[in-house]
Amino acid sequence: MTVDEMRAILDRDAELIENEEFDKLMNVYTDDAIMVLPRQIIQGKKALKEAYMRVAQYFDHTLKLRHGNMKILETEDTILVLDQTFVESDKINEERRATYVYRKINGEWLCAIDNSYGTTLLDE
């Protein structure tokens, strides 16, 4: 997997989030995927979809995501993505150092761990 290929995946996912196409978004996750939020871990597609709906509402449906520098660590069927993510909305404008884990399942890269907060969670 190249950085450009991963950037295309993350850009596709960001577009689904921004357009609030949450049913389609769930297709990019493993069945047991987790999403990390401050003081909370969400697991499973149903819970992830509900969390995304709450996130969209929290950001007044104005959330935009952009990706900057990126590093990829890859084994045969697992990728760790270190990503500079820019989160923009009417409420915030911030840079995050996100971490994502993707697993290759049936030839397709699916997100298993979605941690847009990265290591800043260690500060809690």
- State both tokens at 25: 């978004």
Give pTM, 2 decimals. Answer: 0.90
Residue 122 predicted with pLDDT over 80: no
Residue 111 predicted with pLDDT over 80: yes
Residue 124 predicted with pLDDT over 70: no
Q: Quote the pLDDT of residue 1.
A: 85
**Per-residue pLDDT reduced to its tens digit, 4-29:** 999 999 999 999 999 999 999 999 99
CATH number of 3-123: 3.10.450.50
Tell me, letter by letter, the H, E, C secondary structure of the chain: CCHHHHHHHHHHHHHHHHCCCHHHHHHHEEEEEEEEECCEEEECHHHHHHHHHHHHHHCCCCCEEEEEEEEEEECCCEEEEEEEEEEECCCCEEEEEEEEEEEEECCEEEEEEEECCHHHHHHC
Q: Quote the pLDDT of residue 118.
A: 84
**Per-residue pLDDT reduced to its tens digit, 30-63:** 999 999 988 889 999 999 999 999 999 999 999 9
Q: Quote the pLDDT of residue 37.
A: 86
